[in-house]
Amino acid sequence: MIVSIYAAILALVYVQLSLYVVKVRTEKRQSLGTGDHEELNRAIRAHSNFIEYVPFALILLFLNEYQGMASHYVHILGIVFVIGRLLHASNIAQINEKLKIRVLSMLLTFSVMIITAISLLLDATIGIYL
Protein backbone atom coordinates (compact mmCIF):
# COMPACT_ATOMS: atom_id res chain seq x y z
CA MET A 1 0.00 0.00 0.00
CA ILE A 2 1.49 3.28 -1.14
CA VAL A 3 -0.72 5.39 1.14
CA SER A 4 0.95 3.69 4.12
CA ILE A 5 4.17 5.57 3.31
CA TYR A 6 2.43 8.94 3.46
CA ALA A 7 0.39 7.99 6.53
CA ALA A 8 3.62 7.06 8.34
CA ILE A 9 5.37 10.28 7.33
CA LEU A 10 2.38 12.37 8.39
CA ALA A 11 2.14 10.49 11.70
CA LEU A 12 5.75 11.43 12.45
CA VAL A 13 5.01 15.06 11.61
CA TYR A 14 1.97 14.92 13.90
CA VAL A 15 4.11 13.65 16.79
CA GLN A 16 6.64 16.42 16.14
CA LEU A 17 3.88 19.04 16.19
CA SER A 18 2.52 17.54 19.41
CA LEU A 19 5.95 17.68 21.04
CA TYR A 20 6.32 21.30 19.94
CA VAL A 21 3.05 22.18 21.70
CA VAL A 22 4.31 20.43 24.84
CA LYS A 23 7.62 22.30 24.62
CA VAL A 24 5.94 25.71 24.28
CA ARG A 25 3.44 24.88 27.04
CA THR A 26 6.34 23.99 29.32
CA GLU A 27 8.26 27.16 28.43
CA LYS A 28 5.19 29.35 28.98
CA ARG A 29 4.05 27.37 32.05
CA GLN A 30 0.59 27.10 30.52
CA SER A 31 -0.97 23.67 31.03
CA LEU A 32 -4.38 24.54 29.55
CA GLY A 33 -5.48 27.13 27.00
CA THR A 34 -3.09 29.67 25.54
CA GLY A 35 -2.88 32.30 28.28
CA ASP A 36 -2.60 34.97 25.57
CA HIS A 37 0.78 33.57 24.46
CA GLU A 38 0.94 34.05 20.69
CA GLU A 39 3.66 31.42 20.26
CA LEU A 40 1.54 28.85 22.11
CA ASN A 41 -1.57 29.79 20.16
CA ARG A 42 0.33 29.32 16.90
CA ALA A 43 1.77 25.97 18.00
CA ILE A 44 -1.71 24.76 18.95
CA ARG A 45 -3.21 25.97 15.66
CA ALA A 46 -0.46 24.31 13.61
CA HIS A 47 -1.15 21.06 15.47
CA SER A 48 -4.94 21.43 15.23
CA ASN A 49 -5.02 22.40 11.59
CA PHE A 50 -2.84 19.41 10.75
CA ILE A 51 -5.19 16.96 12.44
CA GLU A 52 -8.24 18.66 10.89
CA TYR A 53 -7.09 17.90 7.33
CA VAL A 54 -4.77 14.89 7.39
CA PRO A 55 -7.18 12.07 8.32
CA PHE A 56 -9.78 13.04 5.72
CA ALA A 57 -7.20 13.48 2.96
CA LEU A 58 -5.57 10.14 3.81
CA ILE A 59 -8.96 8.42 3.62
CA LEU A 60 -9.61 9.94 0.19
CA LEU A 61 -6.14 8.96 -1.01
CA PHE A 62 -6.51 5.44 0.39
CA LEU A 63 -9.88 4.97 -1.32
CA ASN A 64 -8.38 6.07 -4.62
CA GLU A 65 -5.49 3.66 -4.26
CA TYR A 66 -7.84 0.86 -3.19
CA GLN A 67 -10.05 1.46 -6.22
CA GLY A 68 -7.12 1.23 -8.60
CA MET A 69 -5.59 4.66 -9.07
CA ALA A 70 -2.26 4.34 -10.86
CA SER A 71 0.61 4.21 -8.39
CA HIS A 72 2.39 7.21 -9.86
CA TYR A 73 -0.73 9.35 -9.30
CA VAL A 74 -0.97 8.15 -5.70
CA HIS A 75 2.68 9.07 -5.14
CA ILE A 76 2.29 12.49 -6.76
CA LEU A 77 -0.80 13.28 -4.69
CA GLY A 78 0.84 11.95 -1.52
CA ILE A 79 3.99 14.01 -2.05
CA VAL A 80 2.02 17.17 -2.85
CA PHE A 81 -0.11 16.67 0.26
CA VAL A 82 2.90 16.13 2.54
CA ILE A 83 4.61 19.22 1.13
CA GLY A 84 1.45 21.25 1.64
CA ARG A 85 1.06 20.13 5.23
CA LEU A 86 4.75 20.68 6.05
CA LEU A 87 4.68 24.18 4.58
CA HIS A 88 1.51 25.04 6.45
CA ALA A 89 2.63 23.68 9.82
CA SER A 90 6.06 25.28 9.70
CA ASN A 91 4.70 28.61 8.51
CA ILE A 92 1.68 29.00 10.79
CA ALA A 93 3.79 28.16 13.84
CA GLN A 94 6.00 31.21 13.18
CA ILE A 95 5.11 34.56 14.67
CA ASN A 96 6.33 36.27 11.46
CA GLU A 97 4.18 34.07 9.23
CA LYS A 98 4.32 34.60 5.47
CA LEU A 99 0.78 34.73 4.07
CA LYS A 100 1.86 33.64 0.57
CA ILE A 101 3.31 30.41 1.94
CA ARG A 102 0.16 29.78 3.95
CA VAL A 103 -2.01 30.32 0.87
CA LEU A 104 0.23 28.03 -1.22
CA SER A 105 0.11 25.33 1.44
CA MET A 106 -3.67 25.40 1.57
CA LEU A 107 -3.89 25.35 -2.24
CA LEU A 108 -1.75 22.20 -2.25
CA THR A 109 -3.88 20.63 0.48
CA PHE A 110 -7.19 21.55 -1.16
CA SER A 111 -5.97 20.46 -4.59
CA VAL A 112 -5.20 16.96 -3.36
CA MET A 113 -8.54 16.71 -1.58
CA ILE A 114 -10.49 18.00 -4.58
CA ILE A 115 -8.67 15.77 -7.08
CA THR A 116 -9.15 12.65 -4.95
CA ALA A 117 -12.82 13.47 -4.28
CA ILE A 118 -13.58 14.12 -7.96
CA SER A 119 -11.74 10.97 -8.95
CA LEU A 120 -13.90 8.90 -6.60
CA LEU A 121 -17.07 10.60 -7.82
CA LEU A 122 -16.20 10.02 -11.47
CA ASP A 123 -15.47 6.37 -10.82
CA ALA A 124 -18.68 5.86 -8.82
CA THR A 125 -20.99 7.66 -11.23
CA ILE A 126 -19.73 7.14 -14.76
CA GLY A 127 -16.92 4.64 -14.42
CA ILE A 128 -14.13 7.00 -15.48
CA TYR A 129 -11.04 6.61 -13.36
CA LEU A 130 -7.68 8.37 -13.28
pLDDT in tens, 34-68: 788 999 999 999 999 999 999 999 999 999 999 99
- Residue 6: predicted pLDDT: 98
* CB-based burial label for 112 (10 Å; 0-12, 13-18, 19+): buried
Number of folded domains that form the chain: 1
Contacts of 63 (CB under 8 A, 6+ apart): 116, 120
Domain that holds residue 91: 3-126
Long-range contacts of 19-25 (CB under 8 A, 24+ apart): 20/46, 20/47, 20/93, 21/47
What pLDDT, in 10s, does the model give residues 102-127? 999 999 999 999 999 999 999 988 87
For residue 91, the domain's CATH number is 1.20.120.550
Is residue 98 a contact partner of residue 48, using CB atoms and an 8 Å limit?
Answer: no
Measured distance CA(127)–CA(7) in Å, rounded: 27
DSSP 34: -
- Residue 130: predicted pLDDT: 64
